[in-house]
Structures are given as C-alpha cells and as structure tokens.
Structure 1
C-alpha cells in the first residue's frame, strides 16, 4: 500500500534529519538553514499551486461539482490559510528562521538558537506535521498515485529543514537524551498518524469532499511557504538571495511537473471514488429501467 511506503519514508527522513541536527548543532549556521528552507519552500509552493490546488478543484468538479459553489471552494483554501494563522497566534509555531538570532555579534556567522523551549517547539512542529499528513491522506484517498507521491515529496523536502532545526534546538535543552529523542520521534510520527487517519476517514467519503480537503490543505501549504520565506526576503541583507533561491526552486519543480505531464506520467487514474460514482450511476439507470 502506497500510504505505508510514504509514511515509512517520512519517518526515516524525519529521524535522520533530526539526528543530523543533533550531531551538528554547533556547526549548523542560520545561513545554511535559510538556504535549505528557501529551496524547500519553493518546492512546496509549486506543489501547492500546481498539484494540490488543481487536484482539489478537479476532484470536486468530477464528483458532484454542483454541490459546492466557487465561493465555497475558495473559502476552503482560505480556511486552511487562516487555520495555520490561528495556530501561530496560539504559540504553536512551525517557523524555523524568523526567531533565530546571532548571539555573538561580530562573528559573521550566527549559530542557530531559539528563544522557545524544545517542548513548545516540538509540539508546534508536530501539530503542523499532522496537517501535512492530512494532505497526504486526502491525496491517497483520491486514488491518484502520482498525486499522492507529489504531495508527499513536497512535504518530505520541507520536512528536512524543520527536522534539522528541531534537532539543533533540542540539543540545547537541559534534558536527557531519551527525552530529546522522544520529542523527535513524536514529530516523526505526527505526519504518518495524520495521513493514516485522514485516509481512513476520507476513503469512503464522497470524492467532492476529498477535493475540498485537498483545497484546505493547499491553503495550509501556501501559508507555510509564505511564513517561511517572507522574513528572509524582507531582510535587506538576505532578501535578493532568498528570493532567487525560492523562485529557482519553484521554477525547477514546476518545469519537472510540466515535463512529466507532457510525457504522460501524471495522467489521472480511475481510483476508488471513480468506481463508486460509476456504480451509483449504474444503480440509478437500473432503477429507471
């Protein structure tokens, strides 16, 4: 089952990146995380705008599209964005770099630190990770294997800088190694837990509802990429470089998607919801007969 494979891969990437963050806590600089975050944000932005959003609209239009007005669909996207904003306002921040600071002035390379406790950071990142799982679970429930892989890829790439940061921040906490790894494992398991839960809830739901959930997830992705990139882009010292990294990353992934689509790799499949709709149509015809 593709969901099991994707979940396993997410756990491995999360644990590995967190472990690297722990091991290189004194060497990892804010500049390197900025660059990595910019690359990941560009990929996630392309994934949101070119994969998740179109697939959400496609699912709704293909399955009883008249049930939802354009305003309702737009509200689903906006709701995802606002939901993430509310979480941030509650202190459950996922952001990596806006709270970093150079603790040694004049050294020219600030090491990464964070004013919040490792526990708060772990909880915040884990809550956001569950939201990532919602997108993967919904994509899997749509029955489109290629879409599921692309959504998971966007989440995976963005997971690397987040896991690295969490590993670094946790290493500065005055807690046992066991407690640190407990928090890292919680973060690693959050997305698979969200994905599996979303899949089982949506697998038997209408295709149009799956589409609405995908649109909600697209809104969360757009928020994440915006919050991750705007601080460094607005910084006079890092702005031009950060913007170039994000645009180049987004453009490269977009070009890859377009080429893959032209080659026929992203053709839509007839998934579970298509089959259910076909059965419903046959049943209706039988009743008329």
Structure 2
C-alpha cells in the first residue's frame, strides 16, 4: 500500500504541476475545460456518494462488531464535519473573504472582481480561448510608487490564494491517504483508493489551470508563478503521505475507527466541492457547453466511480 500511495502521490503532484504550466506556455480551449470540469464534478459526487461514504460506514461497522445498531450519529457528525471544514476554508481562508487594502496615500487602480475574488475551482468564464485572462488593462498613472504598491497588492492576493488552496489540497490529501488504508484482502486491489485518485486527478486539472491564470492576473512574475504552482502541487501528495502514516500508527481497532471517520469526513469535503465550489446547477450564460451536454457529462462521471468499484471489488 505504501508503494501504491507513493506512486499515486507522484502522479498526482506531477500532473497537477504539468497542467498548471499550460497557461504559461500554450493556448487551450475553454470548451474542453468546461467538459473536463463537468466530468470532474460528476466524479467527485460519484466518489463521495458511491464509494467513500459507503466504505466509511462499512469500516465503522466492522471496527465495532459488538454494536447492534448502525452508529448513525457518528456518521452524520463526520459528514457534517467534513462539509463544515471546507465551508470554513472557502469562506474564511480563501481570497473571497479577504479584501486587503493598502492605504499609503497613493491612488491604486481598481481591481476587477475576477482577480480579487478567485474561487478554488476554475472560473472558465474569465478565460478566453487563447488561455489568457480576459481582463482589460486599467489606465493608471505611470509612477513608480503606484506600480510598486500594485505589485505588492498582487503578491498579497497571490499569497492569500495560495494559502486557501493549500488547505484545500491538504483536505484532498486526507481523502487519498485514508483511502489507501482501507482494508483489502491479500493481493486484492484497493478500489477506494483508485477511485479517489481518479476523481482527484480530474478535479485538480481545471483547478490548477485556474490557479495559474489567476496568478498571472495578479502581475506575479512567471518565476514566482511556477514556485507557487509547485507548492500547490505538492500539498495533496505530502498531506496524503502524512495522513497515511499518522493513521497507520494506531492499533488495529482504533485505526479502523479513525479510518472510517476520516473517510466520512473526506466524503463530506468532496460533497462540498462538488455541490458548492463546482455546483452541478451552475451554467453560465457565456458558457459554450450546452446544459444537456453538461448534465450528460456529470451523470456519466457520477457512475464511473461506482462502476469501477464494482468491477475492481473492495477485496474485503
């Protein structure tokens, strides 16, 4: 399992960084990104409802065979805790909740909403088919003080965005780490970890693209953009490995209880991301993706985790 987790972490981190580099080098189609985001939303929902939550419930029941009733209160608490965790991160730690201002007597240019309010996930409407930000330059006095303050404000927004995404990435890492601890029979494949890994791969692709594009919109130097992207790309793999080793140190019974609860918490975080950060009902008027196509892609994505889980088997 350790080797499997290390391989998954390496692929996840490498792919996140590689996809995030695209806005720095190549043009990409908004329509393709919309399709990818819709598929990722379906995968997150399917992984949470069809694999992670049932697996967490089963793990709790198996860890407490003497209990005659299903631990409904504990299950509900863990789900709500995971959902609340992402709510707090998105509302209180994300850039949306921090409207920093620097008042030193200089006149600052107004910051467009799309640069000061950046969601965790891809805001595809803010991108044109060439991959560049659609924001228009603002005519400002060409004085050194104004540009210095603007650069400082841009760095502050970029750091706040990075901080929020780091917490988000750690929550994803928790899901991947505990999924690799799910019990399997000798020689069996861990379907839970594979499904979570697949969901995270497709979820992080549009998020990474939006992150790099948002960094560029803050006038951050490209070299710093690469550093921020590298830090973000490492957040989920490192937290997954840390979560794995942390839970692996406990005794078998207590470990199973903690793994079951952690799976349910991660299921709650997935539900938040799929229903709030990437709402299934969200369809922008400027979107190139038709509603019927979006529904089809989301539905198709939802059934992929359940199908893969049934084909691979839990291995219990």
TM-score after normalising by structure 1? 0.78
Contact 1:55 1:214 (8 Å CA) reproduced: yes
Residue 80 of structure 1, aligned match among 76, 79, 82: 82
Assess, with a 3 A threshold, how the Cα gap between structure 1 residues 13 and 242 changes in structure 2: closer, same or farther.
farther
- Kindly report which structure 2 residues correspond to 1:106-185, keeping only aligned pairs within 5 A, or say none: 112=133, 117-144=157-184, 145-185=190-230
Give distance in 2, aligned partners of 1:108 and 1:17: 16
Question: Which residue of structure 2 lines up, in the alignment, with residue 213 of structure 1?
Answer: 262
- Kindly report which structure 2 residues correspond to 1:1-289, keeping only aligned pairs within 5 A, or say none: 1-24=3-26, 27-28=27-28, 32-64=32-64, 66=67, 69-92=71-94, 94-97=119-122, 101=126, 112=133, 117-144=157-184, 145-205=190-250, 206-230=255-279, 233=282, 235=284, 241-242=290-291, 244-254=293-303, 257-258=306-307, 261=310, 263=311, 265-269=312-316
Give distance in 1, aligned partners of 2:90 and 2:263: 21
Larger relative CO (CA 8 A, sep 6+): 1 or 2? 2
Cα RMSD (Å) of the superposition? 3.1
Contact 1:47 1:154 (8 Å CA) reproduced: yes
Give distance in 2, aligned partners of 1:70 and 1:113: 48
Gaps of 5+ in 2: 96-118, 136-153, 185-189
Give distance in 1, aligned partners of 2:76 and 2:202: 27
Q: CA deviation at 1:254?
A: 1.4
Q: CA deviation at 1:126?
A: 1.9
Contact 1:233 1:239 (8 Å CA) reproduced: no
Structure 2 residue matching 1:174: 3-state secondary structure = coil
Deviates most, 186-195 or 220-229: 220-229
Structure 1 residue matching 2:50: 3-state secondary structure = helix
Question: Which residue of structure 2 lines up, in the alignment, with residue 285 of structure 1?
Answer: none
CA offsets, 1:233-263, max 9 Å, x none?
A: 26466599356425533335515633661x4
Give distance in 1, aligned partners of 2:225 and 2:159: 9
